Chains A and B, each alone.
Chain A
Amino acid sequence: MVPLEYYLLLSSAIFCIGLFGILTRRNALYFLMSVELMMNAAILNLVAFSFHWGNLTGQTFALFAIALAAAEVAVGIGIILALYRNFGDIDVMEAATMRW
């Protein structure tokens, strides 16, 4: 049996790697990938606790979350398309007109 805290450490590491990507990446697609990573970290957390408590709710919920992640990416790609059309580039630093 792997103790729970290893799962939690792993999930928080993946989360922070995803967060690192969001904070530093300029290309919108990489941004989206980092968001996916964070989501995966959360899903991993769910599964770990499901095993800990012996209840399948966590795993089922994780399935739904994976499905929704896919849907969200679809919509995200569409948004990136719109971003490209309006700013000519998918650099997230470029799209800064909603500012003070």
Chain B
Amino acid sequence: MAFDFVPAIVLLPFVSFLVALFFGKKMPKRGAYGGIVATAGALAVSIWVLLSVRGGNVHEVTYYTWATGVGDQPWELTFGALIDPLSSLMLVIVTLIALLVHVFSLGYMNDEGETDLPRYYAGLGLFTASMLGFVIADNLLMAFMFFELVGLCSFLLIGFWYRRDAPPSAAKKAFLVTRFGDYFFLIGVVAVFTTFGTAAFAGPESFPALAEQALNGNFDVWTPGDLGVETWFTIIGLLILGGVIGKSAQFPLHTWLPDAMQGPTPVSALIHAATMVAAGVYLVARMYGFYVLTPTTMAIIALVGGFTALFAATMGVVKKEIKQVLAYSTISQYGYMMLALGAGSYVAATFHLMTHAFFKALLFLGAGAVIIAMHHNENMWDMGGLKDKMPVTYLTFLAGSLALAGIAPFSGFWSKDEILYEAFIHGLNDPILLAGWVMGLLAVPVTAFYTFRMVFLTFHGNPRTETARNPEPLGWNVKGPLSVLGVLAVVAGFVNMVPVQKLTGIELDYLTQWLDSGAEGLTYSGYNALLAEYAGYEAGVVAGSETTTLLIAAGLGLGLAVVGVLVALALYNVDEPVEHTDKLGDAKTVLYNNYYQDEFQVWLSARTQDVAGGADTFDQGVVDGVVNGVSSVSLVSGDRIRRIQTGIVGNYALLLTLGLTALLVVFGLLGGWFV
């Protein structure tokens, strides 16, 4: 029954998009109430769907076939929905955060007197619809189409304040960098179709299932040239990974995310923290049955993830603006999720996706509240002492920061700990995964450090400017969402307290069980079996028993996090903090300039421009040159030949005579007159 209403989840926000676009100017809050009603409706249906999926009910349906193959190719291109535990969970997360962001926007945008709001709410509505469409997609091509739509909405919303210089440029950068990755994704989609004849995610005829059978030798797939089946599958996985790296802002396509902070803060909270960047990770989780068959791709995912986690964390240490710190934190945390996926832990990645969505959205909305209070000044060095004036914001922000830093019993601790644990035990048998684990572990204290540096600089100490002494008061449309997310940031971790379960034996791993139900081939244990068989992942132990391994890993994680917090406490929890990061000297310059990655990418695109310039010269010089040359033959020869007409009769007579003579000679020779 609930499954009949699945299209409503996508269509309700889409209708709010249309309403805001066409009628927004006439509405009292310029389309906000329409958006709130639509997302609330979508949330209600999503929760109903979630409850219906319990017990392993999976719903797969095709809504529309928009192309059928001709001749030998039995492909069909369809739009359909796949509702299983993973997608229904993601639906609830996305709709909940979208609803809270819409409510928050009333305070951030409407109450601050922003203009052009119908366009803003239309963008939010279209984005929500596209993201939800992406989540329910049942085949790779549909997922790709919504992936691109989501990127478009990101472009529209980042560049919302287009009359300034920076936002359109940042929007263009976001679009181009993610588009670069999506190009490889598209090639991957075509490769999947060509190889398997289908791009469906689920069912015995889905491409992960067919891939497994191909590796067993039970199914023939097309491979280019003489490439081995496993090598080709690795290549396909890497192609699709291109889009994932772009969208989830992993190294090297991470440069767009800090610049995307030019958009309004609720947009940053919705798109660039909790949902759009999650699309990449969600995609890998969706087709995990395919990825686990290729250990090389898994290793690369883990390595990229671990590296990004550490790399971005180091850059977050020296930033001055509160949203920039959070942007680098997002990049870093998605690195953790990729590490989890590469290390074989589907559940840990999904768990961290969920908790991160809550606490990162919370932190961004909190930053938004601070920005409202500080009259849109984002520089943390102009803040200070806000905790007394903004208690709700402070407490929720603190909850989010504790979750981000990974301090027990906040949600972030449980998910991050599970990631590191899984990476560790699989890494004991695989050096690349171990390297990823080491990088992820090193990022833990850095994360904790920069998070609490941010908290102390913003909320503690003495106010450093007049605005900080008298911040703007906030309404309940701001504090309400913050409170909801604050509660979630605390309790969300309790759905999967695996360490406690392993130590005490009580069944507490609700999320794992949730993700274990569902369709054949899409379950957690199914993936584990494939991992063991095809990727060769085995769980190792240290010092003899699993419990000890668990305690060591958890202890290391928690300990390092606490160390990071203590260092930040010592340095920044003073009345007049100073920029201690200056002591890093030249290293600080490198970090502040983001390891010059932005300049490097600009340089690369300038080289592409050179190539384009060369192609243009070829086109104009050679191709156009040939065409113009042909016409110039006609023009020049005409110009020369017309000079015969001198207008002098004698010349004409001469020509006649010569012509006659020549004709006579020719006819005479041919006709034998002269013989």
| A interface residues, Cβ below 8 angstroms from B | 19, 22-24, 26, 31, 92-93, 95-100
| Residue pair A98, B647 in contact (C-beta under 8 Å) | yes
In the assembled complex, the CB of A86 is this many whole angstroms from the nearest CB of chain B, namely: 13
| B interface: dominant SS | helix
Q: How far apart are the CA atoms of A93 and B657 in the complex, in Å?
A: 18
| Residue pair A96, B653 in contact (C-beta under 8 Å) | no
A23 — which chain B residues lie within 8 A by C-beta? 650, 653-654, 657
> Number of B residues whose C-beta is below 8 Å from A?
12
B657 — which chain A residues lie within 8 A by C-beta? 19, 23
Q: A19-B657, A23-B657 are in contact. Are A99 and B645 (CB under 8 A)?
A: yes
Chain A to chain B: the 8 pairs with minimum beta-carbon distance, closest first: A99-B647, A96-B647, A100-B642, A100-B645, A98-B647, A96-B648, A22-B653, A92-B649
Question: CB-nearest residue of chain A relative to B644?
Answer: A100
Q: How far apart are the CA atoms of A31 and B649 in the complex, in Å?
A: 10
| Residue pair A93, B648 in contact (C-beta under 8 Å) | yes
| Residue pair B647, A22 in contact (C-beta under 8 Å) | no
| Residue pair B645, A93 in contact (C-beta under 8 Å) | no
A92 — which chain B residues lie within 8 A by C-beta? 648-650
| A interface: dominant SS | loop
| Residue pair A97, B647 in contact (C-beta under 8 Å) | yes
Whether B163 is near chain A, meaning CB under 8 Å from some CB there, is: no
A31-B649, A93-B650 are known; give 14 further A-B pairs, CB within 8 A.
Answer: A19-B653, A22-B653, A23-B653, A23-B657, A92-B648, A96-B646, A96-B647, A96-B648, A98-B647, A99-B645, A99-B648, A100-B643, A100-B644, A100-B646
A100 — which chain B residues lie within 8 A by C-beta? 642-647
Question: CB-nearest residue of chain A relative to B648?
Answer: A96
Within 8 Å by CB of A22, from B643, B645, B646, B650, lies B650
Q: How far apart are the CA atoms of A98 and B644 in the complex, in Å?
A: 12
Q: Scan residues 620-665 of chain B and give those whose CB is less than 8 A from a CB of chain A.
A: 642-650, 653-654, 657
Question: CB-nearest residue of chain B relative to A25?
Answer: B650
Question: CB-nearest residue of chain B relative to A34?
Answer: B653
In the assembled complex, the CB of B491 is this many whole angstroms from the nearest CB of chain A, namely: 96
B642 — which chain A residues lie within 8 A by C-beta? 100
Q: How far apart are the CA atoms of A40 and B586 in the complex, in Å?
A: 110
A96 — which chain B residues lie within 8 A by C-beta? 646-648
In the assembled complex, the CB of A9 is this many whole angstroms from the nearest CB of chain B, namely: 15
Q: How far apart are the CA atoms of A31 and B642 in the complex, in Å?
A: 26
Q: How far apart are the CA atoms of A19 and B646 in the complex, in Å?
A: 20
A99 — which chain B residues lie within 8 A by C-beta? 645-648
Q: How far apart are the CA atoms of A93 and B652 in the complex, in Å?
A: 12
